[in-house]
Structure 1
């Protein structure tokens, strides 16, 4: 179930992780200050959190890299990755989501958590990173599959000042795609999950 506009829901293949099977329509935070808190997920076609197993792997990769950091969650969807980052000590998370109703729901969940460090921007992710930005320490990039947007987003992040000197960039794509990324991004970790391929890059000085 893929949506046509950019949100995390559009890229997520149908999965049946244990957490989702038990709690449909819920986002369970798996670590940090908000651990085990459950948040509602908006009832929209294809909108579902990044599966628990994928999130657990990703945040094990990141370890302590989030504490006190600036985080950008593009194509935010449910906001699962950004909210998990706030739970684990990120100084500030900027969520970018094109769908106004979905973006509003992220704001409601942040209010429920009293997570004032979260900022939600209703905007097209590609247009957002095509403008000059502030350096981010960690970026989550999960564009809709089969749209050809991964390379454009990666290039824009590097070209328009969105990345800190040694930023970490998480990129999730369809399994069949070998993504084109800037030459100074070094692959740090990768794993396959269903129809998707998850990769974590470390930015080196250009």
Structure 2
């Protein structure tokens, strides 16, 4: 795992063994950020990273100058690792929360420019993520929700679904607050 862009480009992440995670591969992460950099300016964005795990994506967004990155994971060991990495590299815009993602979403009231969710692939509640985000109005006017999931899973039945990009066994499903005909 490494940071692929921004001021920390090339930084290798070496999380402790035994964390309950399945990190986004460097290949999939690179593809995701290629898509995003052609659509939005990450600098200044308010980002919510759900099921943040090692903080791989949180660190990537912070490296690219997102103004605020809220990272939520239920593993206290993951949260401590990310908090330590953020402190070591002066990434003060990363705020970590040790919490259940669904409880966090139910209580959250502030909108985000981009929400990224990388839940465990076997989690049966994955479709609820989009429902909660949109019912609680947690995206800004042109906000994007991205959910990483198994390629065989289909999340296209949500009205805000925009598209699915497949990378082997992993896929990213994109949801837009305003479906305006622009594909990613």
**Fold equivalence (TM over 0.5):** yes
Give the equivalent residue in structure 2 for 1:40. 14
The yes-or-no answer on 1:31 pairing with 2:13 is: no
RCO greater where, 1 or 2, for CA within 8 Å and sep 6 or more? 1
Distance of 1:126 and 1:65 partners within structure 2: 28
The yes-or-no answer on 1:56 pairing with 2:30 is: yes
Give the equivalent residue in structure 1 for 2:137. 161
Distance of 1:71 and 1:113 partners within structure 2: 18
Specify the SS of the correspondent of 1:67.
coil
Shift of 1:143: 1.2
Q: Determine if contact 1:132/1:161 at 8 Å carries over to the other structure.
A: no
Distance of 1:175 and 1:124 partners within structure 2: 24
Shift of 1:144: 1.3
Shift of 1:39: 2.7
Unaligned runs of 5+ in 1: 1-26
Q: Determine if contact 2:50/2:101 at 8 Å carries over to the other structure.
A: yes
Give the equivalent residue in structure 1 for 2:60. 84
Q: Which runs of 4+ in 1 moved over 4 A?
A: none
Deviations 1:160-180 (A, max 9, x none): 131111111111111221115
1:96 to 72, 79, 103: 72
Specify the SS of the correspondent of 1:133.
coil
Distance of 1:121 and 1:46 partners within structure 2: 16
Cα RMSD (Å) of the superposition? 1.9
Unaligned runs of 5+ in 2: 180-184
Shift of 1:65: 2.9
Number of aligned pairs? 178
Query: Which aligned pairs between 1:66-85 and structure 2 lie closer than 5 A?
Result: 66-85=42-61
